[in-house]
Amino acid sequence: MKRAMYFLDQKDMPTHWYNIQADLPEPLPPPLHPGTKKPLTPDDLTPLFPMELIMQEVSTERWIEIPEEVQDVYRTWRPTVLHRAYRLEKALDTPAKIFYKYEGTSQAGSHKPNTAVAQAYYNKQEGIKRMTTETGAGQWGSALAMGCAFFGLELKVYMVRISYDQKPYRRILMETWGASCVPSPSPDTKAGRDMLEKWPDCPGSLGLAISEAVEDAVTRDDTHYSLGSVLNHVLLHQTIVGEETRKQMEMADAYPDIIVGCIGGGSNFAGQFLPWIRDKISGEKPDLRIICVEPESCPSVTRGIYAYDFGDSAATAPIVKMYTLGHGFIPPPIHAGGLRYHGMAPIICHLHRLGLVEAVAVHQTAVFEAGVKFARTEGIITGPEPCHDLKVTIDEALKCKESGEAKTILIAHSGHGHFDLAAYDRYLSGQLEDYAYPEDEVKKAQAELPEV
């Protein structure tokens, strides 16, 4: 009988996160202070983050132990299952072997709790009472709301307005876990009020929501800020996904030729591929392909420039070296709400610059077409974000059909789309439109890059 699912026992769940910074061929360019433009020091970050997370941000230790209290919460949904997509393979008539690591079984329905629980724990340990954050599609906000509920912390979430309007059930989810959620731009911060005065109907952006959440945090002594992607410590916490997958692929007696995942800020896909890329860096698996997929409407890696830029719209967050569309970028109201950030995780950008990972951009109608095919073969209704992986995976599997190669493809499947059915409805009714971000708008936003 064909085995379609690979389970790990809880006793085999990884007890350490993997830190890619120990194995990078070249160190990351240092983040800079938004005011002085000089390299950040740990003290510069203490108004925003607990010291343990700051130390993880700059650590070059290869393995960082997961606290037992965090492991205890992880065990409420981890380890997650690795699936072999036999039905999709059959529908494509491909010799490719397709596996997907499914993170949609967490209480929040995505990979985001892997870092949300850890961040809530470290803030609680430092005596913080309240946290602030931003969220795009709502997956991060709901995950952090869950994490804060586990550790008794208050949370305020600034949700990108277009997603706040499109996805009311995500807001209700956050509020059920005890968080407060407001649309961004909001009248609650100077950054929000300034934007509303300039553009009353602004659909919002992740960069703007970050500005509001950071402003809120630094004006209160009992509050810290939390980010759900981009930063090194966030990617670190997600590596439990890839470490589990390595064990499960051994059970399947398989090793990936291609790993595919979506990127917005980069945390989910990095959590899967970082534990594998060390084999490529070491020379053990030099031909391993790692394909990062982003929307054509927010093409930070494929059309952005590699430069120092602010992490937020109001230019108050640290300046980092990344592929960027410019911190003033306001994305179109596409349905892949979690993939609308103007930049990208510095680690992913660094690896791309070194030629260790690839990047492609795809349109949203083809993305939903792939999501529907996956739903009708594998049964899972996928979030708009990981549907990007499915589109490119199908393309690669069809290439195998043409060539006759039985390549092994691994998908980083970040979560379900149960709160995204309105987007599926628009696709199924023929109302969903493709949108490529205009080149002149890209150049306009990039003209605002800081002088470093």
Q: How far apart are CA 216 and CA 270, in angstroms?
A: 29
The tokens describing 177, both together, are 């876990």
> Rounded to 10 degrees, what is the CA torsion of 324, 280, 78, 174?
0
Q: How far apart are CA 329 and CA 164, in angstroms?
A: 19
Q: How far apart are CA 368 and CA 335, in angstroms?
A: 10
Residue 411 lies in a domain: yes
| pLDDT for the residue 122 | 98
CB contact at 8 A, 288 and 256: yes
For 339, the 3-state DSSP assignment is helix
Q: Exposed/middle/buried for 381, CB within 10 Å: 0-12, 13-18, 19+? A: middle
Residue 360 lies in a domain: yes
Q: How far apart are CA 220 and CA 370, in angstroms?
A: 45
What distance lies between CA 350 and its chain's CA centroid? 16
Q: Is the dihedral of CA 36, 37, 38, 44 positive or negative?
A: positive
Residue 77 lies in a domain: yes
Residue 103 lies in a domain: yes
For 361, the 3-state DSSP assignment is strand
| pLDDT for the residue 452 | 84
Residue 394 lies in a domain: yes
Name the strand (E) or helix (H) holding 159. strand 154-160
| pLDDT for the residue 97 | 98
DSSP β-ladder status, 258-262 and 358-362: unpaired
Written as one string, the DSSP assignment of 352-375 is HHTTSSEEEEE-HHHHHHHHHHHH
DSSP β-ladder status, 289-295 and 258-262: parallel
| pLDDT for the residue 332 | 65
DSSP 8-state assignment for residue 294: E
- Per the structure, the count of domains in the chain is 1
The tokens describing 176, both together, are 């059920």
Residue 53 lies in a domain: no
The pLDDT profile of the chain, 452 residues, written as one tens digit per residue, is: 578 999 999 999 999 999 999 999 999 999 999 999 999 999 999 999 999 999 999 999 999 999 999 999 999 999 999 999 999 999 999 999 999 999 999 999 999 999 999 999 999 999 999 999 999 878 899 999 999 999 999 999 999 998 898 888 999 999 999 999 999 999 999 999 999 999 999 988 888 998 999 999 999 999 999 999 999 999 999 999 999 999 999 999 999 999 999 999 999 999 999 999 999 999 999 999 999 999 998 899 999 999 999 988 888 888 999 999 998 887 766 555 567 788 999 999 999 999 999 999 999 999 999 999 999 999 999 999 999 999 999 999 999 999 999 999 999 999 999 988 988 999 999 998 888 888 887 788 788 899 88
Residue 383 lies in a domain: yes
> Rounded to 10 degrees, what is the CA torsion of 159, 162, 164, 169?
-130
Residue 57 lies in a domain: no
Vertex 168: Cα angle to 164 and 169 (nearest 5): 135
Range of the domain at 440: 68-109+240-446
For 284, the 3-state DSSP assignment is coil
| Domain containing residue 360: CATH number | 3.40.50.1100
